Amino acid sequence: MRTLIKNIKDLIQVREPSINMVSGADMKILPTISNAYLFIENDVIVDFGSMNEIREIESDITIDATGKIVLPTWCDSHTHIVYAGNRENEFVDRINGLSYEEIAKKGGGILNSAKKLQETSENELYIQSSKRLEEIMSLGTGAVEIKSGYGLTTQAELKMLRVIKQLSNNYSIEIKATFLGAHAFPLKYKDNKDAYVDLIVSEMLPKISQEGLAEFVDVFCETNYFTVAQTDAILKASKRYGLIPKIHVNQFTTIGGVQVGVEHNALSVDHLELVNDDDIKLLKTSKTMPVALPSCSYFLGIPYTPARRLIDNNLPLALASDYNPGSTPSGNMNFVVSTACIKMKMTPEEAINAATINGAYAMNLSKTHGSITKGKKANVIITKKVPSYSFLPYAFGSNLIDTVLINGKSIH
């Protein structure tokens, strides 16, 4: 099957295969071809260029993109979309004055979701999660990382990871699985937290590795959750099974999460609502991608990741949704990109780079996703008629997507 998209107003994020991420001042550059064509064979981008230089191309499908912009689909490198039920009661509790931490202390929060998930069948969990997956695909996401972490028993963590695997088998969107057994301490380990760390290390990790259910490992390294020492122990053990770290750090407090992440060559350190000078120094010495989750800051009313400080220190930055029932009940990457521009003062070019090529890097997908590059997957968003790409984050809340192609096929 050959698809030609012609008369594209602007084809954006056009890259050579050698570029696997962008940092610092380079994030302000978004390579663009105006009045362009894009040629797809089966699931791969095979050619693109200016309409002035288009050769005779035979295609099965031709899409006229006059007045429209074409860009790579979003790469959402941090989500928790496999969960059971919702937590709108806690949302109301927070409106009435309780904090996220206070709700968690009352047995709400992650433990509330874990209880619901443990009581939900694998099949029902699959059905609930597939709806969210279909929603984010229609909003332009073409690759997504999904974490476990609402199971908190060996059985329930395996159930979550099997659902992720099933989603990955049944949908065209690229899915990467992360084991987040270290998301919270189950109540029964309240007074013996190290015993839960032990369960993760000696029971969960071997089983997950045996079934090949995860590529990445995550830890919620945070006050009242997992200490730096516990994070270190889990990452050390994970390494024996070849799991690559991508960890939650600096959401509410800075306890040394960036350091332990960088020491373990984490692929990414995520959240970073708080960042100190040492964190910046450490990140500069590393290949670790900092990841910001502005929808979480928006929903919880906590600080936004200081994007300007990170980028102006010549660091890269990726943007992801954090889609989950507690802190971010939204997987809309268009809103993430808008919010990054509006609240974090990222330019549209920086935000789009952060949500495409840098997001792909943060899930080890640089070779196949994140840019318009010959040989990469034909994953593209075709917008409605818009005046410019800056209009996308500007018109926040409007759905400006006309068509989403994943692996060369329209998902609609």
x/- mask, Fe ion, residues 285-324, rule CB under 5 A, reads -------------------------------------x--
Nearer Cβ to ligand NIG (126/220): 220
The pair of three-digit structure tokens given for residue 333, joined into one six-digit string? 């990457």
**From 196-204, 318-326, 343-351, 360-368, span contacting ligand NIG (CB under 6 A):** 318-326
296 binds ligand NIG (CB under 6 A): yes
Backbone phi and psi for residue 400, each to the nearest 5 degrees, phi listed first: -105, 15
325 binds ligand NIG (CB under 6 A): yes
> Shortest distance, CB of residue 410 to ligand NIG, whole angstroms?
32
Cα 172 from Cα 162, distance rounded (Å): 17
> Shortest distance, CB of residue 347 to ligand NIG, whole angstroms?
26
Cα 269 from Cα 291, distance rounded (Å): 6
The pair of three-digit structure tokens given for residue 66, joined into one six-digit string? 């006059």
145 binds ligand NIG (CB under 6 A): no
Q: Would you call 125 exposed, middle or buried from its count of C-beta atoms within 10 A (0-12, 13-18, 19+)?
A: buried
295 binds ligand NIG (CB under 6 A): no
**Left if phi > 0, otherwise alpha if psi is -120 to 50, otherwise beta: which for 356?**
alpha
Q: Pick from 231, 327, 334, 364: which binds ligand NIG (CB under 6 A)?
A: 327
Nearer Cβ to ligand NIG (33/152): 152
Of 297, 281, 288, residue with least CA distance to 318: 288
| Nearest residue (beta carbon) to ligand NIG | 326
Cα 46 from Cα 375, distance rounded (Å): 6
The interface with ligand NIG within residues 218-237 (CB under 6 A) comprises: 220
251 binds, among ligand NIG, Fe ion, none (CB under 5 to 8 A by kind): ligand NIG
Parallel, antiparallel, or unpaired: how do β-strands 409-410 and 174-182 relate?
unpaired
324 binds ligand NIG (CB under 6 A): yes
Nearer Cβ to ligand NIG (101/211): 101
**Residue 62 DSSP code:** E
Ranges of H-type helices in 45-199: 88-95, 100-105, 110-118, 122-138, 154-170, 193-199
279 binds Fe ion (CB under 5 A): no
Say how many residues touch Fe ion, by CB under 5 A. Answer: 1
> Shortest distance, CB of residue 36 to Fe ion, whole angstroms?
36
**From 55-63, 151-159, 232-240, 322-330, span contacting ligand NIG (CB under 6 A):** 322-330
Of 16, 67, 68, residue with least CA distance to 45: 16
296 binds, among Fe ion, ligand NIG, none (CB under 5 to 8 A by kind): ligand NIG
Q: Which of helix, strand or coil describes residue 388?
A: coil
CB 154 within 8 Å of CB 225: no
The pair of three-digit structure tokens given for residue 263, joined into one six-digit string? 């020491």
Within 8 A by CB and 6+ apart from 174, the residues are 142, 143, 144, 365, 368, 369, 377, 379
Nearer Cβ to Fe ion (79/356): 79
> Shortest distance, CB of residue 109 to ligand NIG, whole angstroms?
5
How many other C-beta atoms are found inside a 10 Å radius of the C-beta of residue 44? Answer: 14
216 binds ligand NIG (CB under 6 A): no
113 binds ligand NIG (CB under 6 A): yes
Residues that bind ligand NIG (CB under 6 A): 109-110, 113, 220, 248, 251, 296, 322, 324-327
Residues that bind Fe ion (CB under 5 A): 322
